[in-house]
Amino acid sequence: MPLITPLPSDHDPEVAELARFFNETLGFCPNSVLTMQRRPAIAKAFIGLNMAVMENKGRVTSDLKRLIGYMASLTAGCQYCQAHTIRAAERYGAKQGKMEHIWEYKTHPAYSEAERAALEFAIAASVVPNSVDPCIEQNLKKHWDEGEIVEILGVIALFGYLNRWNDSMGTSLETPAQESGHQWLGSHGWTGGKHL
Q: Where are the beta strands (DSSP E) in the chain?
A: none
Burial (Cβ within 10 Å: 0-12, 13-18, ≥19) of residue 64: buried
CA 44 from centre of chain? 18
135 neighbors 117 (Cβ within 8 angstroms): no
pTM: 0.96
4 neighbors 38 (Cβ within 8 angstroms): yes
pLDDT for position 68: 98
Burial (Cβ within 10 Å: 0-12, 13-18, ≥19) of residue 170: middle
First vs last C-alpha separation in the chain: 8
pLDDT for position 57: 84
CB atoms within 10 A of CB 183: 15
pLDDT for position 1: 86
pLDDT for position 132: 98
Mean pLDDT of successive 10-residue stretches along the chain, which has 196 residues: 94 95 95 97 97 94 98 98 98 95 96 98 97 98 98 98 98 97 96 96
CATH number of the 13-195 domain: 1.20.1290.10
Write down the mean pLDDT value for the chain.
Answer: 97
| Dihedral sign computed on CA atoms, order 84, 89, 95, 99 | negative
